[in-house]
């Protein structure tokens, strides 16, 4: 039997080799798989191409979150576990079939896993994770302004905004600012989508457990076939996780029963999910308010002492006397979070939003292009409304093709390799330029 040594505590090089070995050879433990295999029709690798974005972007790559009113409980003994209604309905029928087969002796009760079918993990609210990130960043920002000596430049909210944008410039390439970007990072899990659930609580990083308890067991052969017959796919990297296949004929009747129509993945994503960008500016305003008020609470006053300019008695020349100082006391007042969103006009907020998105997505539009996006968005606000302007801005930034690991990125890398030219940074630049160009086909 193959040995898989992948764990999170391995040195970087051994980790890469171990993960690659698992990716290629894990499925060879299945029946009728005779050679290196990345996927089967029932088991999918969510790290390949854009599958990692299942349940988090629509067909236009707009980030999404699931509608809370469409979530339902998986029932006893796990009433707190929830998922989208059609996912719960499909699982309920699947569990009934599993329990019947278990009673009839078709499932090995002594196997290391899958001797029962109970939801152990399910929907996790993504906004909870974003709120936790925000709390951590409040503390980070306070340290930032001290280290950068920026306290003396923060007199009020407006002067704070300049320091905030410098902070964004320094940190956003590594840490998301907007909720839209947060939903596109590794912070977001398939469990945040309402489409996935897990039937085991094992750690995700121990590859040998996946091989011993799942891929090499007859119970898993049964499990993957059963899951497929009810419209679920198995996550190759977490084989106890099932995800609803929105285009599966087996899932179709459950979707139709829950939503009134079954039009495939595009219909479900449009009906059961909402786009995040509508609330991006309010969430940025809330973040900025929390950051500023935290500075006020931390340092309500800052005294600045500087050498004073004096005139020598023998000359009209101005000099700075080290023994003479002048002081300035900055007194900061907190702001009401309800006032900030309306204190500045749409143009002010759109300017901040476009600059933040340009930094955090890594698309790196030039200053000229950024100004063009801001102008076009401002025109749309005046001629139509803010929602239209936000939709336009999102169309320029929410393109997942520039993420390392996307199929477009891999195709570009392969092209460079076949020609024997270019480094990884050249691949990144080529992808970035191509995506920028594709985003400006219209307007």
pLDDT > 60? residue 165:
yes
pLDDT of residue 441: 40
The per-residue pLDDT for range 266-319, each reduced to its tens digit, is: 899 999 999 888 889 999 999 999 999 999 999 999 887 766 655 555 555 555
What kind and span of H or E run contains 417? helix 407-419
CA dist 277 and 57 (Å) reads: 11
Count other Cβ atoms within 10 Å, centred on residue 36: 12
What kind and span of H or E run contains 324? strand 318-331
Mark 396-414 as b/e (b = at least 16 C-beta within 10 Å). bbbbbbbbeebebbeebbe
pLDDT of residue 361: 85
- Enter the tokens of residue 350: 């759109």
DSSP strands (E only) in 161-282 = 196-198, 232-235, 238-244, 273-275
The per-residue pLDDT for range 79-96, each reduced to its tens digit, is: 779 999 999 999 999 999
pLDDT of residue 439: 47
Residue spans per domain, the chain: 12-123+191-262, 126-186+278-300+332-340, 345-439
pLDDT of residue 321: 55
CA dist 240 and 85 (Å) reads: 20
Mark 250-265 as b/e (b = at least 16 C-beta within 10 Å). ebbebbeebbeebeeb
- Enter the tokens of residue 443: 């307007």
The per-residue pLDDT for range 350-368, each reduced to its tens digit, is: 999 999 999 988 888 889 9
Query: Any idea how long the chain is?
Result: 443
- 165-174, 276-285, 431-440: least confident range: 431-440
For all residues of the chain together, what is the average pLDDT? 84
pLDDT > 70? residue 322:
no
> How many percent of the chain have pLDDT more than 90?
53
CA dist 373 and 396 (Å) reads: 8
CA dist 196 and 54 (Å) reads: 10
C-beta separation of 307 from 324 below 8 A: yes
**DSSP 3-state of 286:** helix
C-beta separation of 66 from 193 below 8 A: yes
């Amino acid at each position: 039997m193959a040995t898989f040594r992948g764990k999170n505590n391995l040195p970087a090089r051994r980790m890469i080799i171990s993960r690659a070995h698992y990716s290629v050879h894990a499925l060879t433990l299945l029946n009728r798989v005779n050679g290196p295999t990345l996927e089967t029709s029932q088991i999918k690798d969510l790290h390949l191409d854009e599958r990692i974005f299942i349940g988090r972007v629509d067909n236009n790559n707009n980030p999404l979150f699931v509608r809370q009113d469409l979530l339902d409980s998986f029932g006893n003994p796990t009433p707190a576990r929830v998922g989208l209604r059609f996912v719960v309905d499909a699982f309920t029928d699947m569990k009934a079939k599993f329990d019947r087969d278990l009673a009839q002796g078709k499932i090995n009760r002594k196997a290391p896993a899958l001797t029962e079918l109970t939801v152990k993990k399910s929907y996790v609210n993504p906004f909870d994770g974003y709120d936790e990130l925000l709390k951590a960043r409040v503390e980070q920002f306070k340290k930032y302004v001290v280290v950068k000596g920026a306290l003396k430049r923060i007199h009020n909210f407006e002067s704070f905004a300049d320091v905030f944008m410098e902070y964004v410039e320094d940190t956003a390439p590594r840490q998301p600012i907007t909720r839209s970007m947060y939903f596109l990072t590794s912070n977001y899990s398939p469990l945040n989508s309402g489409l996935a659930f897990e039937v085991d609580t094992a750690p995700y990083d121990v590859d040998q457990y996946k091989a011993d308890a799942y891929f090499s067991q007859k119970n898993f052969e049964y499990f993957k076939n059963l899951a497929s017959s009810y419209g679920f796919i198995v996550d190759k990297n977490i084989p106890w996780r099932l995800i609803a296949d929105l285009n599966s004929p087996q899932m179709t009747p459950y979707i139709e029963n829950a939503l009134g129509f079954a039009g495939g993945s595009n219909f479900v994503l449009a009906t059961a999910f909402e786009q995040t960008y509508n609330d991006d500016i309010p969430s940025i305003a809330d973040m900025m308010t929390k950051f500023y008020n935290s500075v006020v609470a931390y340092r309500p006053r800052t005294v600045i002492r500087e050498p004073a300019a004096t005139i020598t008695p023998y000359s009209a020349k101005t000099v700075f006397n080290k023994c003479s100082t002048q002081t300035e006391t900055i007194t900061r007042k907190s702001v009401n979070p309800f006032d900030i969103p309306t204190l500045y006009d749409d143009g002010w907020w759109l300017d901040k939003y476009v600059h933040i998105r340009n930094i955090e997505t890594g698309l790196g539009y030039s200053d000229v292009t950024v100004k063009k996006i801001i102008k076009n968005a401002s025109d749309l606000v005046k001629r139509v409304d803010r929602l239209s302007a936000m939709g336009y801005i999102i169309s320029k930034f929410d393109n997942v093709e520039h993420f390392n690991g996307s199929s477009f990125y891999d195709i570009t890398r392969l092209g460079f390799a076949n020609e024997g030219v270019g480094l990884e940074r050249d691949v990144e630049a080529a992808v970035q330029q191509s995506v920028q160009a594709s985003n400006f086909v219209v307007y």
